Amino acid sequence: MKSILITIVSIVTLGALANANERQVRRIERLTAQIQQDVRYTQANQRDLRDAIQHLRQALDLINSQVTPAPPRPVPPRPEPPSPRPVGYTCVPRDNDGRAPYAIAIRDSNFDVQKSRHIYGSMTDCNQAIDRMRYIDGVKILCGSRDYDGRAPYSVFRMDGVADVRFTGLGFSTVQECENTLNDRVRFRRGSYVTCSSRDADGRAPWSIFAINFTQAQVERKSETFNTYNDCRSQLH
């Protein structure tokens, strides 16, 4: 019994000293010395052994109080939620005849309708365009037909009610290419982002890198050109 306790004391002491400061080291050493003294009595009785075990428990409690909990695992950032549907926007027949094309419009509280210049070949396409509007740096941004005819090429527009400002110089062959500009938002410098667009704003090669400021509707084309849209976009990441 004595030899077992002495062995345990030695192990406990090493573990405690590894995680203790100077003041705690002195306290652990005193407890250890007391335990060893209790155990090494030539005529150790049950009371002596109980005292040794009590001191051993105190040493264990001291060690346990020094255990540093593992740091919490980092929580991965949540994906940015999609922008809410802009309040007030709806789709109506452009010519008030119940048929295509359909225009993005605003219906006010008096049921008066103001139409934008953005038209689409179907009600579904028009509603999807509204759903894909994005709020970027505090302004509403829309991907729409560059020439307001519902066909390619497509460009980026800043919306203010039904009025819009086209980002001159941008042209995409598909709506998806245009929306990559809104979804990726690769930051270039404060207030500006970079994207790839047709160099000549016609939705065709060659392609160039452009810096965009959404709040000011400003576009700056860089000098390098690429043969394909994907070749250009690969340089942004």
Q: Is residue 17 part of a domain?
A: yes
Selected residue with higher pLDDT from 109 and 229 = 229
Give the count of domains, the chain. 2
Within 8 A by CB and 6+ apart from 52, the residues are 5, 35, 38, 39
**Do residues 171 and 137 share a domain?**
yes
**Do residues 184 and 131 share a domain?**
yes
The Cα–Cα gap between 172 and 196 comes to 9
Residue 55: pLDDT band (50, 70, 90) is: low
**Do residues 13 and 115 share a domain?**
no
**Do residues 180 and 96 share a domain?**
yes
Residue 157: pLDDT band (50, 70, 90) is: very high
**Do residues 95 and 50 share a domain?**
no
Residues 166 and 218: beta-carbon distance below 8 Å: no
Over residues 206-214, the mean pLDDT reads 95
Within 8 A by CB and 6+ apart from 157, the residues are 118, 141, 142, 143, 144, 164, 165, 166, 167
Query: What average pLDDT does the chain have?
Result: 80
Determine if the peptide bond prior to 206 is cis (ω within 30°).
yes
**Do residues 53 and 107 share a domain?**
no
Residue 82: pLDDT band (50, 70, 90) is: low
Residue 76: pLDDT band (50, 70, 90) is: low
pLDDT at residue 217 in the model: 93
Q: Is residue 70 part of a domain?
A: no
Its domain, for residue 177, covers 89-236
Range with the lowest mean pLDDT among 27-36, 59-68, 96-105, 195-204?
59-68
Q: Percent of the chain beyond pLDDT 70?
A: 64
**Do residues 117 and 48 share a domain?**
no
**Do residues 118 and 227 share a domain?**
yes
**Do residues 51 and 98 share a domain?**
no
**Do residues 55 and 140 share a domain?**
no
Within 8 A by CB and 6+ apart from 79, the residues are none
pLDDT at residue 143 in the model: 95
pLDDT at residue 184 in the model: 81
Q: Is residue 79 part of a domain?
A: no
